[in-house]
Every structure is written in structure tokens, then in C-alpha cells.
Structure 1
């Protein structure tokens, strides 16, 4: 079924959204009415001005838009109201991964009949600029992009963390060598480094915990296990205290304890706390040489 043609106000609204995420401050500035007042998506953004929007436009990442909806819902001789929503994700190559939906309402003031401007042209394609002479008097974003930290206009931290996690995951996936061990019950177990969440000493043995919630105990000390299977030669395995090695891929937070995504809490050696925090930060940047960069020594039993 063919899509309907956008009205002039809908076309202009689409251009507004795209220009904002392109960071085109000059274009945006020329579209606002002198009496513009807006409402931002964040709780503290009850009333925003043109300068706020220009500043935000310079800070947001480049997005790829999908499932855009623009709907003209009311008009008078002087004004037009357009509402809609869009889904968007981060354009490739920005070391950030993010996708979300946002909704909006805008109010345009149409040029008066006796002040119709001479049609201008876009220098990119020499086509007439849509809605020339129209001015934006109100812009309301109805919901914040999820996972934004206080004061952020875009969830930069979450998006960056997602990107680094995916990079770390991809790096560990490159280590396709299968780990094969015989547990204390003489059962042969097989798994990949990617599947290991953490390993901890149990006397002279090592308990290996995996992402499926399982575990097995082998007749090896933690140090010997790390050395035999090259945990520190692959990305993201960090010793958090004597006898405990954690895969950074499964870490949710690092404080006095390391909290894993499944809720497991692992105490951190106070002596190594600073180095451990640095090591996890380095690992999340995808550095395969975590120990050397962060100053965390080889595994101790």
C-alpha cells in the first residue's frame, strides 16, 4: 500500500527532527518564532528556549530514523499542529549503540498571506525549502529517551556501555577454542571462555561458574586454571581478590563488591580496589591486555 504524501507542515516537521539530530544549528535557529516556548523530555525541562535546543542539537549523536509518523491534527488560518513519533538508532561508526522511540507535538505559525516570502532553495539539491516562512512556536517532547542520567539529554553512558559490552563480547567470541576439563566426579565438561562468568578457588580446587547458572569443580588451583586456559590472554578476565577471577562481560557494577548481572556479589580486595576498578574500565573499552594496562597482576591461588 503506497504511503500518503506528507502535508507541508508534516514535511517541515520531519525536516525539523532530522536537522536537530544532524546538529544543524543555523537551520534550526532560522525556524523558531520570536515567541517560541518549548517543553523538553527531561523532568527539569518544563520550559526551554531556542538556545537550549541549539545547545542540545550540538551534543546529540547522529541517528538513523525508522518508523517515522507525522500527523497533522489541527489547523487554523494562522497555525498548524503536528504530532508524531519516531524510532531511531545510532548511526554506525560512533562507538555507541542505542535505539529508542520518542513522541512529539509541534505547533507552526504559517506566514500571513500579505507576507508570503520568495521561495528559497536548499543548497544541497536546489529544491525549494519546505515550509519557507513558517515559524515554530511550540515543541513538546512527550517522553525522555530511556536510561538517561540526570542532566543528560541523551543516554550517553548507557549507549556507550552497550557499545563497549558488544565489543568485548565480539572479542571473546573470537576465542573459539573449547575448554575441556574433567571435574572432581570424573565427568568431562566442555564450554567456551565466553560462557565463563567467574572462577573461584575451593581449597586446592577451582569452581568454574557459567552463564547458564551451572558450575563445575576441577582439580586445579585458580592460578593453574587461568594459566592453562589462557584467561588473561583473552579479553576481560580480572582478578578481584585472591582466588577469584571475573569475566568483565557479566559485571553490572563495581564498588566494594563486584555485582554480576545475575545478582551475585563478589567482595573486592581493598588493597586492589583501585586497580580492579581501572581494570574493568579498561576491559569495557575492549583492551585485550587488561592486566598490563590496569596493573592487576597474574592470578593468585
Structure 2
């Protein structure tokens, strides 16, 4: 849903893959929010410009690349202040989305936040990446990884009593079954929950163990498995679209994007070189 106003524009939508999660991207020059609250847990990232936020009787400036969080039913208001533009993105987690996140983090309840402003540059960048990925809606596996990873870090670093989310164990051996599953079923639409269950871990723990043991996130590792499969297929005469589908990529353009990023060439260039070598 898009709002039409030459001075203030916004786009609001419900996520296709996470029940109970909705998102907003807004670009304001004059808008002011009266005191209000949401039933949802809210995370907002100021992307450019800024505003003034009032909550709990305290006025705070929201500046570029800063994070604000509001507990469910917590009243707050906002206005432009001295800023001429306020470009920001928000995520709204209703009870259904919160429940799914609690399961992924392995906690009975999400923590309460005692402060609304979160000064954490790396975490803010992570939430911007998450919001943009959800807006594109191209890769559910990566979106889930970013969602669980970002919120898990937010709660552990800044939640009340530093939320007791169990960290990933140290045993690399726990990854044997998830790695084997990736190799065997890379062409399918794998889910992080499936991989975590193979290792008897929460999704958040799986992400942490992957980073520690392989230096890659689960999505990055799976992408490499799919690229290796694509390379094998490209050495034959398989059409590019069929290669992308069989290797497990969302579509041919996604395969091309990852191929260029990792190898500095397109799949077509790789296939042409392989055919030339086989004819020599």
C-alpha cells in the first residue's frame, strides 16, 4: 500500500514469508505523528535526515543510521524538528511473528527494552540490510537468516537483562548433518529450520556456529554449494535457465548476480570457455 503525497510518501506491506510481520518505508518532509502506540513490537531505522522522537516523557533526535525500538503498546510520537527530510524504514512484529522469532531464538519470551534509542552502528546496518532484503522478497532463506540474526543480536546486546539467548556450541561436528543436507538437496528450497533441526540447534545457534566453523553464514555457504553445482552443469550443454533451476537459484538473474560477485564473470562466459576447452 503506497501513500500518495508530493511532500510525504510511504509504502506499507505485509511480508509474504513471515506471518505477522509488516514493513514500512517512508520519506517525509512535513509529517508529524501524534502520540500513538502499536500492538506490535517496532524497530525503526532512520536512513537519511532525521526527526524528533518523544517516548516516556523524553525527547530524542533520530539521526541517519540510528535504530529505535518500541515495546508493544508503548506510546510515542515524532515530528520533523529542524530536519527537512526524514527517510526511514520500520518493521512491525505482531504476536504471531514474535512467537516465530522466540522459537528461532530458543527463548520463552522476548526481552523488554528499557531505552528506545539503540546506538549500535553494525546492528543498524544489519537491520537496513534486512529491511531491503524483505522489500525485494527474492530469497526467503537469506531473509530468514537476516531476520533471526539481526533480532538475536539486538536482544542479546540491548534487551533487558541482556536476553538469555543460548550461544552456539563450539563443536564443529554438529554441522556434519546440515552440510550433508545442503550438498544433497541444494536444488530445493531449503529452510533454516530444517538445517537447525539436523544439528539439534536453534536457528540462531546454527547461524553462529556456521560463522565460527566455516567463516560463512548458512546462506553464503549454501550459495557456494549452488555455485559449485552450477559450474559442473555449465561444463556441459545445459541451458542457463535450466542450470539455475537445477542448482537451486531463485532464477537465472540470481545465478548470474552471484556468479559475477564471486567469480568476476558471467555464467555464459564460464560456459563458453568450458565448451572451447572441450573442443580444443
Q: TM-score range by the shorter chain?
A: under 0.3
Q: TM-score, normalised by structure 2?
A: 0.27
Which is helix-richer, 1 or 2? 2
Rg comparison, structure with higher value: 1
Q: TM-score, normalised by structure 1?
A: 0.26
